Structure 1
Amino acid sequence: MDRPGDQATSNVAKQDVLTAFSRNRPPRWRDSALSNAGHTSPKMTTTGAAKETARILIVDDEPAIREVLRQALMAEGFEVEMARNGTEAVKHVREGAFDLVLTDLIMPGKDGIQTILELRAVDPRIQIIAMSGGIVSGGGDFLPLARQLGARTVLSKPFEYRVFMDSVRDALGIAA
């Protein structure tokens, strides 16, 4: 759904998310998340406080954003898998059970709105959090539509670490 000329704006939006997260996340993994963004994931020790191991799927076309979110969730004790687009996300959900899907809305190919519709058809009970920097990138505001189609929570990028983790815990029914 990106338009010609949106690449520079997309890079700015991506950096905004990484910067906002950097300022607001716990120091125990701040440096490794930024230094490893976009690289293959290192083994991390899970020291988080999740009351149970929830399976979470992150869907975003930006590798650096996927990695930062993955490390944040792993640090809190969650089991995390990643998908680069909506097609991969639907395949992952068909192949295994997930408690929560975090999906970007503006992605090439199958966008987040289409992804939410298909995920709801595959598993109507799955919890979904929709994320978008669409207003920043000129793609429009799809967050209200995502909520109407079944996203439990919607987050506008950039968002703060605390807001993100509170949204995840709320979607999973875990007390903060």
Structure 2
Amino acid sequence: MATLLLTDNETSFRQALAKRLEEAGYEVLQAGGGQEALDLYRRHRVEAVITAVLMPDRDGIEVIQEILGRGQATPVLAMSGGCALCGLDIGKLAQRIGARRVLEKPFTADVLLQALEDILGPGSRGIPSSRGEARHAA
């Protein structure tokens, strides 16, 4: 079973996604912000990171840079609500720095699950993890 790190400061959205991912057979670590995500990433081995881009403490761009800047091959999926007011294409920026996929909010659980299978490979939900250290964190 693949272990995922899911980061989003919108608690109800994050918890709903985590529940759906768990129902699909993934183990999910949750973080409410970028710094918490990086702390969890350092303590646990995960097969993929799903992160919101815009967050108040450390944003998703910093999370992606920190993870991929360590030479890690962990696939990252970025979630963006867009940034029409700031005039930036946050999704393109996330991809330029290494996110494998960017999903624009709102998206369905099926779209997320398909994106995960695309970056992790078919059957990623059913593969037992030898990591043994996956825990749920709020």
TM range (shorter): 0.7 to 0.9
Structure 1 unaligned residues grouped into runs of 5+: 1-52
Rg (Cα) greater in structure? 1
Q: How many residue pairs align between the two structures?
A: 123
How far apart are 1:173 and its partner, in Å?
0.8
The Cα offsets for residues 104-160 of structure 1, whole Å up to 9 and x where unpaired, read as: 000002111111000113452101000010246x35421001011110100000012
Change over 3 Å in CA distance of 1:172–1:61 after alignment to 2: same
* Percentage identity across paired residues of the two chains: 36
Partner of 2:115: 167
- Give the Cα separation in 2 of the matches to 1:121 and 1:92: 16
1:57 counterpart = 2:5: yes
- Please tell me the residue identity of whatever aligns with 2:25: G
Q: Post-superposition, which runs of at least 4 consecutive aligned residues in structure 1 deviate over 6 A?
A: none
The Cα offsets for residues 33-91 of structure 1, whole Å up to 9 and x where unpaired, read as: xxxxxxxxxxxxxxxxxxxx000010000001111110110011100010011111111
How far apart are 1:96 and its partner, in Å?
1.2
Task: Determine which of 40, 43, 50 is the counterpart of 1:95.
Answer: 43
Q: TM-score w.r.t. structure 1 length?
A: 0.66
Structure 2 unaligned residues grouped into runs of 5+: 125-138
Aligned-pair Cα RMSD in Å: 1.6
Task: Determine which of 60, 68, 92 is the counterpart of 2:16.
Answer: 68
Greater helix share, structure number: 1
Q: Is the 8 A contact 2:17 2:109 kept in 1?
A: no
Q: TM-score w.r.t. structure 2 length?
A: 0.83
Q: Is the 8 A contact 1:94 1:122 kept in 2?
A: no
